[in-house]
Amino acid sequence: MNYTPAFSAINKTTGFIGAGLLLFGCQQASEKELELPFRPNILVISCEDISPFLGVYGDPVAQTPRLDQLAAEGIKFTNMFANVGVCAPSRASLITGMYPTAIGANHMRNYSPDGPDYKYIPENIEVYEVVLPTGVKCFTEFLREEGYYCTNNSKTDYQFASPLTAWDEDGNEAHWQNRPEGKPFFSIFNLFVSHESQVWARGDLPLTVDPDKVPVPPYFPDDSIIRHDIAVMYSNIHEMDRQAERLIKQVEDAGLLDSTIIIFYSDHGGPLPRQKRSIKESGTLVPFIVWYPNGFRKGETEERMASFVDVPATILSLAGIKPPEYMHGKAFLGKYSEDPREYVFGGRNRMDEQIDKQGFVRDERFRYIRNYYPDQVEFMPVTYRMQMPMMRRMLELYKKNELNEIQRIYFENIRGEEEFYDVLKDPHEINNLIDHPDYQGYISRLRNEFEKWDEEYNEMWHIPEIETREMFFPNDKQQIVKKPTFKLNNGNLSIESKTPGASIAYQINGEGHNPDHWFLYNGPVAINEDDKVTAIGVRAGFKNSNAAYHKEKNNYK
């Protein structure tokens, strides 16, 4: 069987509208106009695993001068949320504009290039790729269709192999500098130095932040090992800021700042225990900065609620491209900006080998959490995280009964079916107010919003993972895209695959062409008699088709 989810939220219609003048909405000011090229360049700097640990967000010890400057000259978003507090599901939403819970991408993680050798997964489940619903594509394909040169350097981690059609370049050497002259670029650079693993990998390097001066959240014991790891985190963030500075300088040196929008964000919240993998504030609230050329909206703070499902639609909107209707997100900037949302949503499931399921809804003040394993505590002995010295130290202190009441919550408080937090009064979400009589009206409202979201989007979320894998990999086999066929008409070559939802990547070997570059097929291609065209059918979650060669007669319709 070929898996094609039939969700009411998916519409296959996609429209594109070019724009030489982009409009940008603002909640505190009337709409303003900004002259940009027909297609502005867009540079995205994505770091790993940080909450708003930047000086511009008020962090007292963060050493982030370049990102602070970027925010001072641009827009600082204060209510941007990941839909889940961990890498792969979060990146699934960032590449599709859809909730991971809605497309079967909600576990951490189901796909790895290591294949069967990937060890952070339950023994009864083999790795698999999420199959995106028919018509759903990496949003970069829409940019490529409109003439953008798209590069990714270099992490993908989308819950499926990075499609050949998603990027012009994808890897450690990918760079906008390699684009053909005159092409606008969309380029993502993923900075790994702030990743959770670097807390232990870089733990012996000289620190740039004094451990005695770091803030220690109340859910951590004030201990020398904990302080050291927090200082390592801040030192890594400082190095990340230096790397971001170099990326921005490359654009400046090329004379492209006046035609480039710069976006910065983290892929989810902080790297430490009770941060990464959590769906609380510490795991989902992220820094998000947008910088426009020529001081447009300079120094503004944007408080509107937004989440990662909104980011792909917003990037398309900034490029003057109408987002596809299947996206769950709403553009919050650009030509197709929509009204602010009142709530953000998300959920998590399996974390590596540990089974769990939680969902949340957050408005501007409160967070409601639904626990589907209510008898569990928040702590889970995730093997990967046990490499962090402070995690081992926290467990040691807990077993010695040397943690205070707040610090013990993580290890011993049974969560119950629901949690509710007043984040403005309790930013660390220590006090669960689910039974507090003064909050029952608020709780009822957010509970209802969560259940409406769940009913509208999350059919896939409530299917056991082993059944989800069978849907994507029927009979334990990855589906394969059908080999493309050709049709030549007066020197124009048409290419198609019979697999619904498939895209086509093609190469041209001939005079004036780069035979190593895979183009995205977007209509008949003009070729010369001596050109040789190779085509491959591509669909996210499927195995690529065998290559088809247009010189072979049996590849024609």
Give catalytic status of residue 87 as yes or no: yes
Q: How far is CA 203 from the centre of its chain?
A: 27
Read out DSSP for 52-105? S-SGGGT-SS---HHHHHHHHTSEEEEEEE-SSSSHHHHHHHHHHSS-HHHHT-
Yes or no: say if 481 and 545 are a contact pair by the CB < 8 Å rule.
yes
For 426, which DSSP code?
-
Of the CA atoms within 13 Å of residue 81, those in its CB half-sphere come to: 30
Yes or no: say if 141 and 503 are a contact pair by the CB < 8 Å rule.
yes
Yes or no: say if 124 and 466 are a contact pair by the CB < 8 Å rule.
yes
Instruction: Return d(Cα 212, Cα 434) in angstroms, integer.
Output: 36
For residue 57, which of 265, 222, 228, 367 has the smallest C-alpha distance? 265
Q: Report the b/e string of 184-195 with b at 16+ CB within 10 A.
A: bbbbbbbbebbb
For residue 264, which of 13, 23, 56, 32 has the smallest C-alpha distance? 56
Instruction: Say which of 47, 87, 138, 150 is annotated catalytic.
Output: 87
Q: Which amino acid is at 12?
A: K
Q: Which amino acid is at 416?
A: G
The residues, any chain, with a CB within 8 Å of residue 547's CB and separated by 6 or more, are: 534, 535, 536
CB atoms under 10 Å from CB of 65, counted, come to 15
Question: Which SS3 state, helix, strand or coil, does residue 463 take?
Answer: coil
Strand order from edge to edge, sheet including 485-489:
485-489, 492-496, 525-526
Phi, psi values for residue 79, rounded to 5°:
-135, 50
The residues, any chain, with a CB within 8 Å of residue 20's CB and separated by 6 or more, are: 36, 37, 38, 320
The residues, any chain, with a CB within 8 Å of residue 526's CB and separated by 6 or more, are: 491, 492, 493
Cis status of the peptide bond prior to 341, with omega within 30 of 0:
no
Lookup: tokens for 44: 């995205």
How far lies 277's CA from each of 282, 323, 325, 516, in Å? 9, 29, 30, 39
Q: How many residues does the chain have?
A: 557
Which helix (H) or strand (E) segment is 487 a member of? strand 485-489
Instruction: Return d(Cα 197, Cα 276) in angstroms, integer.
Output: 11
Residues with active-site annotation: 87
